[in-house]
Amino acid sequence: MTVAASATSICITNNKATTIAIGGVGEDSRLVSSSLSASSASFSSSSTSSFRFGLSSSIPSTPLLTIPTCAASRLHLLRLPPPRRCFASMDSGEFPSLYPLHRCKTIYLVRHAQGIHNVEGDKNYKAYMSPEYFDAYLTPLGWQQVDNLRKHVHTSGLLNRIELVVTSPLLRTMQTAVGVFGGDGYTDRMDTLPLMLANAGNSRRAAISSLNCPPIVALELCREHLGVHPCDKRRSISEYQCLFPAIDFSLIASDEDTLWKANVRETKEEVAARGMNFMKWLLSRKEKEIAVVTHSGFLFHTLSAFGNDCHCSVKKEIAQHFANCELRSMVLVDKSMIGSDSSPINYPGKIPSGLDLPSDLADEKNLENGKT
């Protein structure tokens, strides 16, 4: 028997499915190709070998027609039924998803504004290796980007909805976090600590108040790709606490940076795994609307792990690279009940409680009451 090439695909099944590009089957490949142009073939390795013609390798093996092997030479005589439409399963991403609202959180992901390392690093990646960019701070243009985003979160009303801001403990992310989400008009006469001292990190900015703004907490889990690049190495927490007095650093265990290594770069898989742990941490929080100020690499590798159950365009949208000071809102779904929140909106119903009767019994009861 000979195998000729055409547009037909064949699935060879032996408990596992493997799809290969191959052509028609039979002595007369031209006739077979024309007969099977809209169909797929699959071989089944059972004790009685047979050809099974189904719809495609992605469809469960329900053959339209089974033919003994000895009849392979007469395949061109077959008249197969027209192909059926392939219907997607509920898990394929072509159907809407439905989750209880109290099992979801809204997260507002923000990449830091332009840092001094971005200016040259965007032109030449090797510039990120320069020691002069250690713990890079924001450029004047970066602070303009902060002001623009700050205006947006105020005019849109978003600031009033955010219950918590989580920031990576590096200068450029903390400057972005306090600049966008911090309070206004700090003076030394205030009883509260400022979020940022004047000119912290060469900012040339006035002190930023911690009044009338959500709490800001620093967390190592959402740091940038760790290792090798000096711009991603942090200072000591004690030094940061002097510059950003009202940021909460209590969740960071080590004063010195023990995560960054000069000669070991975190792998993409390790960044994604750390990002997944960060998402689980977010789900464990009581807050429902959380802003996260972090980094481009961390966002890209973390978000690339999501969206596999969505349309390919949605997955692409999720993982698209962030621009400096870009904000995107997303819904984080707790599929594994990591959190334990109950809904403050749901209503139990059936108050007062009582025994429900099936509709047919209720009708009979009404008839009996009518007779009496």
Catalytic residues: 112, 224
Tell me, what amino acid is at 173?
T
Contact 73, 27 (CB under 8 A): yes
User: Quick one: 143 exposed, middle or buried, by C-beta within 10 A (0-12, 13-18, 19+)?
Assistant: buried
* Other beta carbons within 10 Å of 303: 22
Closest Cα partner for 106 from 164, 181, 146, 176? 164
Q: CA-to-CA distance for 96 and 311, rounded, in angstroms?
A: 11
Whether the ω angle into residue 358 lies within 30 degrees of 0, i.e. cis, is no
- DSSP-derived letter for residue 301 is H
Helices assigned H by DSSP within the chain? 29-35, 116-121, 140-155, 158-161, 171-181, 237-243, 268-284, 296-303, 312-319, 359-371
Which runs of E-coded beta strand occur in the chain?
Answer: 9-13, 17-21, 40-44, 50-54, 65-68, 104-111, 164-167, 216-218, 289-294, 327-333
Residue 313 to residues 40, 165, 277, 317: CA-CA distances in angstroms? Answer: 27, 29, 25, 6
Cα dihedral 69, 71, 73, 74 in deg (nearest 10) = -150
* Beta-bridge partners for 290: 107, 164
CA neighbor of 156 nearest in space, from 286, 330, 325, 327: 327
User: CA-to-CA distance for 328 and 306, rounded, in angstroms?
Assistant: 15
Q: Name the β-bridge partners of 108.
A: 291, 329
